[in-house]
Amino acid sequence: MSRSFTFTHAICRLPSESIVQGLREIDTGAPQFDVFCKHHQDYIAALRSTGAEVTVLNALEEFPDSVFVEDAALCLQEGAVVMRPGAPTRLGEAAEMAPVLQTLYKDVQKISGSGFIEGGDILVTEKEILVGKSARTDAAGVAELRDIVSNWGYSLRELQTPPDVLHFKTDCSLLDEETVLSTKRLDASGCFEGYKVIHTAEGEDACANTIRFNNLVIMPSGFPKTAAKLDKAGYEVVEIGNSEAAKLDGGMSCLSLRFSPTK
């Protein structure tokens, strides 16, 4: 079984009503809370449909972006790492996630130096961990993560998230042991040499953030050309509404932590 996309567990967090104040690069209006909640329920149902156990945490009103749990931690088989988000309003989300991880893992490490790193900048593949430096993730954060994961036998490759792109995974996703979905602009940097790459279709870069979760590729709805490409390539695609999360630069990966802990 592939450790990079076969998961027994996931963690999600209910959206808070304060989500209307969530961070966004460009203001296209506040997300509609009720529509966000509906999409979130559909997302959790898709994760559960694969047989995974999904823990749904309570909403945290004091953290508008806390529904995007992926940024607060990295979950591997050997242990979990509590991140140090680079967005000041999100720093406290990591401390909220730590005790949850301690109930699931024997080994929970923490980024505790001066660096910053967010889960959205980390793509775990079958053979390595790719981390893109970005406005949220700096070299010191990457170096501290490298020290931690190398003790668990992982090699980490430091890369650069394209300018004006929030996170590395805003522009890419893992599809299987050897294949990634990527925007052409990220692939052009050469970071996926040695992988098979499927490009997002023309005009559909906004769907690069999908997740491979067990048998499914879960992607945002509204990107028919890329969905057709993935279907044709043999993936079982499920489309989930993402209109409201997209207003806050969120996609499919940010809404969950996905893992198979060995406690």
Give 12's strand partners. Answer: 56
CA distance 125 to 118: 17
**Minimum distance from CB of 45 to ligand CIR (Å)?**
21
How many chain residues interact with ligand CIR (CB under 6 A)? 20
CA distance 257 to 229: 26
Name which of residues 15 to 34 contact ligand CIR (CB under 6 A). 22-24
Name which of residues 150 to 209 contact ligand CIR (CB under 6 A). 166-167, 170
167 is catalytic: yes
Q: Which of 75, 172, 207, 254 is catalytic?
A: 254
Measuring CA to CA, which residue among 72, 67, 169 is closest to residue 118?
Answer: 72
Interface with ligand CIR includes 132 (CB under 6 A)?
Answer: no
Amino acid identity of residue 19, one-letter, is: I
Half-sphere exposure of 40 (CA within 13 A, CB side): 28
Q: Listing from the earlier edge strand, what are the strands of the sheet with 108-110?
A: 73-75, 80-82, 108-110
CA distance 157 to 131: 6
Give counts: helices (H), strands (E), the chain.
6, 15
- Phi, psi angle pair for 16, to nearest 5°: -95, 160
Closer to ligand CIR by Cβ: residue 88 or 190: 88
**Minimum distance from CB of 174 to ligand CIR (Å)?**
14
Binding mask 83-102 for ligand CIR (x = CB under 6 A): ----x--x------------
**Minimum distance from CB of 66 to ligand CIR (Å)?**
10
**Minimum distance from CB of 50 to ligand CIR (Å)?**
20
Closer to ligand CIR by Cβ: residue 251 or 261: 251
**Minimum distance from CB of 234 to ligand CIR (Å)?**
26
Stretch that binds ligand CIR, among 3-11, 62-70, 105-113, 177-185 (CB under 6 A): 62-70
Q: Which of 39, 167, 191, 207 is catalytic?
A: 167
How far does Cα 128 stand from its chain's mean position? 16
Cβ atoms of residues 50 and 99 within 8 Å? no
Of the candidates 71, 93, 171, 205, which one interacts with ligand CIR according to CB under 6 A? 71
Interface with ligand CIR includes 251 (CB under 6 A)?
Answer: yes
- Phi, psi angle pair for 143, to nearest 5°: -65, -40
Interface with ligand CIR includes 43 (CB under 6 A)?
Answer: no
Cβ atoms of residues 172 and 183 within 8 Å? yes
Binding positions for ligand CIR, rule: CB under 6 A = 22-24, 65, 68, 70-71, 87, 90, 119-120, 166-167, 170, 248-251, 253-254
